[in-house]
Structure 1
Amino acid sequence: MKDYRRRDVALAVGLSGVAGYVDAIGFLKLGGFFVSFMSGNSTRLGVGIATGQWTMARTALALIGLFVVGVVLGALVARKAGEDRRSVILALVAALLAIAAALISAGFNTAGVAAMVLAMGAENAVFQRDGDVGLGLTYMTGALVKAGQRIATALTGGDRWAWGPYTLLWAGLSLGGALGAAAYLWFGVLALWAAAALIAILAAAKAWRESLRG
């Protein structure tokens, strides 16, 4: 993460926290499927196919497909708006989460969950660079691998703290997951509004900074 400023790292950790929060809500709502962690859904897809549990397989495949659509949507919006205008992607994610909360509250569970998954896919475009994901915000395997590699570098005389930001990304997602689960147990789907509101505030703050930058 050498190319990112501390402010960017803080934003990334916060967004990972939101991803964990939303993923925990989705996990509890769907009974063991994920809205941001597609490795888990891919495993469930394989298990479903192997064991003939076709409902499991169809659900996992649908979630994976929606996530990819969300990634495509986020990438296209980032390219259209300019990859340095992160406020636009944040606004998109906030809108999708608000739509998800509204739809599920109104009883349209399938459409609401679809909006959640689209939001999580689109969130990965916040740090898009030249059409590629600069920082993965909704999955932590890569971050943990990089943290381990940086620890090895530190142990052999390299940068002592390069592992820190990657560990913070993981910690942010894990803490967000705990908060999301607790919020869902207390408030049900209403907990999604908190995530939408937080992302909307971040979008407004980013838009203000971008306007000052010109």
Structure 2
Amino acid sequence: MDNSVIKTNPSVSSDSIKMQERLSIFLALIAGYIDATGLIQWKTYVSFMSGNTTSLGAALSTDKSEIIITSVTVISSFLLGIYAGTCLSLLKRIKNQILTFYLVSGILIFYSIISYFYNINNLLSIAIIGFSMGMMNTIVTSVGNQKVNTDFVTGTLNSLAKNTAMLSMTKDKVEKEEYRFNAIHLLLLWIGFLSGAFIAPFLLDYFGKWTLIFPALLLMTCELLISKINTKN
């Protein structure tokens, strides 16, 4: 995904763009938190599919069946989550964006409650959380006209470097402002993901089996932000 140069859409208010920016950073923090939690608990990524694809390729050449099964499961579940979230987004936009928030937070809460009383198989855990991460990935796909992906860190860093390079090379004031906006947002998006991954180990030690309640509550908070965006647009 190349989100390096996107012009600002004049039909979108600056307040809405700012709200979308905050929401995307918030979602990146949640993605980083859940991804780090998955890595610690199940030794696999639940949103970083580049890492899982690399693991799958290496495992195929070395016949490590456990890694192959885990990687195929999480990648398939993530894709199914994106499919489901995209289908919802193609229906009535406002209602179903909010519905996706509730579905993802509901999955996380339901999983936390069940896992507290019963031991859930690691493979099933990976499938459930991977599916929810895929759905979450479809909630915010742009800030204004700038395409974003809240858990695609490689693409974010790639676009950040490109925008920074174009900012330093252009002499046009309008272009400079656009590149500066893009670069700052992409940097904040990366910091959001990094921050989520940073706090995950601490909260995992503190909350234990209830650790996914934290991102579920954050998603409910995000729903308030998306409601404001929809009210203003």
| TM-score, shorter chain, exceeding 0.5 | yes
How far did residue 181 of structure 1 move?
A: 2.0
Counterpart of 1:16 (choices 12, 16, 28) is: 28
1:137 and 2:150 aligned: yes
TM-score w.r.t. the length of structure 2 is: 0.81
- Alignment deviations for residues 121-151 of structure 1 (CA, whole Å, 9 cap, x no partner): 001211258xxx9421112111111100011
How far did residue 119 of structure 1 move?
A: 1.1
**Comparing 15-24 and 2-11, the one that deviates more:** 2-11
1:150 and 2:167 aligned: no
Gaps of 5+ in 1: none
- 1:20–1:173: 8 Å Cα contact kept in structure 2? yes
Cα root mean square deviation, aligned: 2.3
Query: Any idea what SS the aligned residue of 2:46 has?
Result: coil
- Alpha-carbon distance in 1 for matches of 2:232, 2:193: 30
Shift of the 34–141 alpha-carbon distance from structure 1 to 2, 3 Å rule, reads same
* Equivalent in the alignment of 1:175: 195
Counterpart of 1:159 (choices 140, 158, 176) is: 176
Query: Any idea what SS the aligned residue of 2:45 has?
Result: coil
- Alpha-carbon distance in 2 for matches of 1:53, 1:37: 20
Count of residues paired in the alignment: 209
Gaps of 5+ in 2: 1-5, 10-15
How far did residue 178 of structure 1 move?
A: 0.7
- Alpha-carbon distance in 2 for matches of 1:94, 1:117: 13
- Alignment deviations for residues 10-48 of structure 1 (CA, whole Å, 9 cap, x no partner): 1000000000001111111112x1001000000110111
- Alpha-carbon distance in 2 for matches of 1:46, 1:185: 32
The one-letter code sitting in structure 2 at the alignment partner of 1:17 is L
* Identical counterparts, % of pairs: 22
Counterpart of 1:116 (choices 123, 126, 129) is: 129
**Comparing 85-94 and 48-57, the one that deviates more:** 85-94
- 1:100–1:113: 8 Å Cα contact kept in structure 2? no
How far did residue 207 of structure 1 move?
A: 3.8
How far did residue 205 of structure 1 move?
A: 4.8
Structure number with greater CO (CA < 8 Å, separation at least 6) is 2
- 1:101–1:193: 8 Å Cα contact kept in structure 2? yes
Counterpart of 1:51 (choices 62, 65, 83) is: 62
Shift of the 42–205 alpha-carbon distance from structure 1 to 2, 3 Å rule, reads same
The one-letter code sitting in structure 2 at the alignment partner of 1:144 is L
- Alpha-carbon distance in 2 for matches of 1:50, 1:97: 34
Query: Any idea what SS the aligned residue of 2:91 has?
Result: helix
1:40 and 2:51 aligned: yes
After TM superposition, list the pairs within 5 Å mapping 1:184-203 onto structure 2: 184-203=204-223
- Alpha-carbon distance in 2 for matches of 1:84, 1:11: 17
Query: Any idea what SS the aligned residue of 2:99 has?
Result: helix
How far did residue 83 of structure 1 move?
A: 5.9
TM-score w.r.t. the length of structure 1 is: 0.88
- Alpha-carbon distance in 1 for matches of 2:92, 2:107: 17
- Alpha-carbon distance in 2 for matches of 1:209, 1:167: 22
